[in-house]
Amino acid sequence: MASPVVTFDVGDDGVAVITMKNPPVNAISGEVLSAVLAHFQTAHSRKDVKAIVLTGADGKFCGGADIRGFQVRKSVGAGRESGVIRVNDIMEGGPKPAVAAIETFALGGGLELAMACHARLATPNTRLGLPELQLGIIPGLGGTQRLPRLVGVGKAIDMMLTVQMLPADDALRSGLVDAVVPPERLLADAKKWALNIASGRIPWRRTLARTDHVGPVEESLKIIESKRAQYKHLFKNVPHPAACLDIVQRGLKDPYAASVMEEKISGELQVSPSGKSLIHVFFSERAVLKVPGVTDRGLKPRQIRSVAIVGGGLMGSGIATAVALQQIPVQIKETDSDALNRAVNTVRANLENRAKKSGWTQQKLQKVIALVKGTLDYKDFGNVDLVMEAAFESIPVKQQIFEALERYCKADCILATNTSLIDIDVVGAKTHCQDRLAGTHFFSPAHVMPLLELVRTEKTSPQVQLDLINFAKIIRKIPVTVKSSVGFAVNRAFFPYVSSANFLAIYLGVDPYRIDRILKDFGMPVGPFRMTDMAGQQIGVATGNLWRQTFPNRTLKMGLSSLLEEKNRLGEKTGKGVYNYKPGTRKEEPAPELKDILAEARRRSGLGADWQEVSISDQEILEMVLFPVVNEACRVLEEKVVLRASDLDLASILGMGFPRYRGGIVFWGDSLGAEHIHSQLSKWYNLYKSDAIEEFYKPSPSLERTAASKGTLASIVELTRSRL
Ligand code: 3H9
């Protein structure tokens, strides 16, 4: 017989202990919720039970509703049969007091059950919160009603909208828990607390009826209005943050009615486009850490105790900052003392900035700064566990560096390159330690951006890959394992983002500022033209050249970057690019000169006097910019550059800022359907194929196949998230 998902034990003291047991996080499935409520009813009816303690097995209280069941969710019923009403009536309204004994975490539905108890005890390592909004839903077991009544309306809204998980001491100060006790005393103290409520020594408080943390309705309404203004930016393109505020507001007058409505809305949001996308991202973030042949071999990651960086430019100093921030000693190597001073000073400035933002003490700041050392000599690398090269993008330069690294570093030191362009096999061609070679491709600024592409070659050993995955986690990066190839995953898939925008602007006459606005409205952090200004137009020229060499048939012959570079309009850093920038700011303004620059680009592209602007809708512009990205993503999947489609989704979100609530580039493509994307690309291909754009809009063979078979883009790669 399967072991029960919730156990029930009554001790001699008359306390019934109800324990949720649903590994790995004691999540609330329908079965768990029914069993908890049934055990509460049993406890209420048994004469030998005086009080109840609700807890979780294996030192964890509960991680919330079982998200695995969301995709196949059926309605849990409505009205008085629904889960929330049963929780209200049975747990909170029942005749015997209940205390939640909370260890490690009480999240989402887990915290909601705890809040329906009459008191909560937690251990010092516990985190508590209602993170439902990260999944595109709102709490659905009374959380929007009980949390404000325990911590106040303003704090409850902050916690839900910004997905804050309170540490136990903060939860105690805020009123969310009643006591913090050591883990070894948790159960005994919770029992005592419950018996004290039963005997009247501690007042019996039903959360929904509490008024001690909430002022008059008018005051709460004012708080809600101010929060609506404060969090306006979160409401763009998604329904759940506004739904959460609306339901908190409704509950000010009638929390019981509001909590029934809350459950209904939460269920509807689960199957909304943004709900499905955000739940997909949640699982993608966990799947990416599983690399077959690496993380499933029983190997133990070796600890990286010290790191060296070769090259202290923008990337090198950013990487050194990310390493030092996690208390790992780091050396930076430069070629001369001026460059070295600049590099060390940049890291120091980054750390000072972080210290200011995070309120570090001077002592802590100095301790972290002391971890960063500069050197001009590889001889100092003798003891480091990992070297990351972030030098100039030149094959001979990198090959020389790796030869030196092999000579001076210890025999098991991992040798990595931050190249974003060059094949790792080529970088390490002159070394003999191919099994220790890998790519660690950071995104700029490296101490801020969360993505790390871990590039492996055929020869990179599983141990080295595992060590790097583990190291990435330690320096707070999300590692996506990719195959060594041009552009890896993110730069490769998103190269067409800028190319298609250029095609639209130069060849079809669409205003670049309109293109940027459409992409921003879609949810990208910046449009393609603003992005080229941020990166610098020289980078655009260099990447364009590389692409032209690698994929000559699908690269625009001429983009704006080369013209802008000629005119010394290099982007943000020169105050002029596609946009103009007010001196000393990053605030962009349309440049009146751009019209003439575009006209020149057309002349140079051979577009004669008969050239005519094309009238085109916002929707078509969006698709003309993003469908080529989906098309390239299909090639990335086909070539197995990533392990799974969800890895590319995650990389697109973390590396390019593709909106999370759209699930990533492949997930979004699948939400529209391969057939639609294929038919649009085919249309543009037939309309616009020319010397300038050739096969740019031509559907890739894998998209063609997927559309014909009515399959999903995600299944272009064999390994899927759900099969792991
Ligand atoms: C909710 O509660 C709605 C209610 O309001 C309404 C009810 C009607 N379900 O993160 P980890 C899996 S919505 C199922 O690596 P950690 C996870 O996929 C929920 N599975 O561990 C992974 O599986 P695998 C609101 C879950 O120790 C494994 O557990 N709650 C769930 O670093 C380990 O996860 C949340 O949003 C779940 N709820 O962190 C909390 N949670 O090994 C979401 C995790 O197969 N969860 N798994 O890949 C978390 O934040 C973290 O997982 C947690 C543990 C802090 C709990």
For residue 309, the model assigns a pLDDT of 98
Which tens digit of pLDDT belongs to each residue from 262-282? 999 999 999 999 999 999 999
Ligand 1 centre and the CA of 124: distance in Å?
A: 20
- Amino acid occupying residue 153: V
Q: Please state, in angstroms and as integers, the Cα–Cα distance from residue 502 to each residue in 204, 490, 679, following that order.
A: 67, 19, 22
- CA distance linking residue 414 with residue 388, whole number of Å: 8
User: How many residues comprise the chain?
Assistant: 724
Q: 462-476: string of b/e by CB count within 10 Å (b at 16+)?
A: bbbbbbbbbbbeebe
Residue 78 pLDDT greater than 80, yes or no: no
Q: How open is the CA angle 243-248-253, to the nearest 5 degrees?
A: 130
CB of residue 286 inside a 6 A radius of ligand 1:
yes
For the chain, state the CA radius of gyration. 29
Domains of the chain: 5-271 (3.90.226.10), 307-486 (3.40.50.720), 491-723 (1.10.1040.50)
Active-site positions? 112, 132
- CA distance linking residue 44 with residue 96, whole number of Å: 6
C-alpha count within 13 angstroms, C-beta hemisphere, residue 464: 25
Which tens digit of pLDDT belongs to each residue from 291-316? 999 999 999 999 999 999 999 998 99
Instruction: Pick the more confident residue, 453 or 495.
Output: 453
- CA distance linking residue 323 with residue 328, whole number of Å: 6
User: Where is 482: in which H helix or E strand?
Assistant: strand 478-483
Q: How open is the CA angle 374-451-318, to the nearest 5 degrees?
A: 20
- Amino acid occupying residue 198: A
Q: 45-77: string of b/e by CB count within 10 Å (b at 16+)?
A: eeeebbbbbbbbbeebbbbbbbbeebeeeeebe
For residue 71, the model assigns a pLDDT of 57
Tell the residue nearest (CA) to atom 53 of ligand 1.
63
For residue 155, the model assigns a pLDDT of 98
What are the tokens at 123?
A: 């251990």
- CA distance linking residue 637 with residue 633, whole number of Å: 6
- CA distance linking residue 423 with residue 414, whole number of Å: 17
Contact 418, 315 (CB under 8 A): yes
- CA distance linking residue 660 with residue 522, whole number of Å: 11
Which whole number is the average pLDDT over 23-47? 95
Measured from the CA of 286, which atom of ligand 1 is nearest?
Answer: 48
Which tens digit of pLDDT belongs to each residue from 200-237? 999 999 999 999 999 899 999 999 999 999 999 999 99
Contact 71, 279 (CB under 8 A): yes
For residue 607, the model assigns a pLDDT of 87
Residue 462 pLDDT greater than 50, yes or no: yes
Which whole number is the average pLDDT over 128-157? 97
Reported confidence tier of residue 74, pLDDT bands at 50, 70, 90: very low
Ligand 1 centre and the CA of 270: distance in Å?
A: 15
For residue 719, the model assigns a pLDDT of 54
Residue 2 pLDDT greater than 90, yes or no: no
Which whole number is the average pLDDT over 424-446? 92
Residue 715 pLDDT greater than 60, yes or no: yes
Measured from the CA of 138, which atom of ligand 1 is nearest?
Answer: 5
Which whole number is the average pLDDT over 688-700? 85
User: Where is 718: in which H helix or E strand?
Assistant: none
CB atoms within 10 A of CB 498: 24
Residue 3 pLDDT greater than 80, yes or no: no
Which whole number is the average pLDDT over 374-398? 94
Residue 720 pLDDT greater than 70, yes or no: no
- CA distance linking residue 34 with residue 617, whole number of Å: 52
Which tens digit of pLDDT belongs to each residue from 403-412? 999 999 999 9
Which whole number is the average pLDDT over 413-436? 91
Q: Please state, in angstroms and as integers, the Cα–Cα distance from residue 437 to each residue in 387, 492, 575, following that order.
A: 10, 22, 40
For residue 73, the model assigns a pLDDT of 46
- CA distance linking residue 351 with residue 159, whole number of Å: 28
Strand, helix or coil for residue 139 = coil
User: Residue 208 CA to chain centroid, in angstroms?
Assistant: 34
Q: Which of 633, 693, 322 is nearest to 488 (CA)?
A: 633
Measured from the CA of 76, which atom of ligand 1 is nearest?
Answer: 8
Which tens digit of pLDDT belongs to each residue from 43-73? 999 999 999 999 999 999 999 999 988 754 4
For residue 694, the model assigns a pLDDT of 79
CB of residue 717 inside a 6 A radius of ligand 1:
no
Q: Which of 212, 215, 210, 193 is nearest to 202 (CA)?
A: 193
Contact 177, 121 (CB under 8 A): yes
Tell the residue nearest (CA) to atom 16 of ligand 1.
25
Tell the residue nearest (CA) to atom 17 of ligand 1.
286
Residue 517 pLDDT greater than 80, yes or no: yes
Q: Which of 80, 63, 75, 59 is nearest to 27 (CA)?
A: 63
CB atoms within 10 A of CB 303: 11
- Amino acid occupying residue 305: R
Contact 480, 453 (CB under 8 A): yes
5, 20, 22, 25: which to mutate for ligand 1, most atoms within 8 A of CB?
Answer: 25
Q: What percent of the chain has pLDDT over 90?
A: 84
Over 142-180, what HEC string results? CHHHHHHHHHCHHHHHHHHHCCCCEEHHHHHHHCCCCEE
State the chain's mean pLDDT as an integer.
Answer: 93
CB of residue 56 inside a 6 A radius of ligand 1:
no
Reported confidence tier of residue 76, pLDDT bands at 50, 70, 90: very low
Q: ipTM of the predicted structure?
A: 0.98
Which whole number is the average pLDDT over 180-199? 98
Q: Give the full edge-to-edge strand order of the sheet including 127-129.
A: 105-107, 127-129, 166-167
Measured from the CA of 109, which atom of ligand 1 is nearest?
Answer: 2
CB of residue 32 inside a 6 A radius of ligand 1:
no
Reported confidence tier of residue 77, pLDDT bands at 50, 70, 90: very low
Over 388-420, what HEC string results? EECCCCCHHHHHHHHHHHHHHCCCCCEEEECCC
- Reply yes or no: is the peptide bond before residue 4 cis, omega within 30 of 0: no
For residue 81, the model assigns a pLDDT of 52
Strand partners, 127: 105, 167
CB of residue 132 inside a 6 A radius of ligand 1:
yes
Reported confidence tier of residue 650, pLDDT bands at 50, 70, 90: very high
User: Where is 8: in which H helix or E strand?
Assistant: strand 6-10
Measured from the CA of 134, which atom of ligand 1 is nearest?
Answer: 36
pTM, whole model, 2 decimals?
0.93
CB of residue 105 inside a 6 A radius of ligand 1:
yes
Ligand 1 centre and the CA of 628: distance in Å?
A: 35
Contact 513, 506 (CB under 8 A): no
CB of residue 66 inside a 6 A radius of ligand 1:
yes
- Reply yes or no: is the peptide bond before residue 97 cis, omega within 30 of 0: no
For residue 557, the model assigns a pLDDT of 81
Instruction: Pick the more confident residue, 173 or 553.
Output: 173
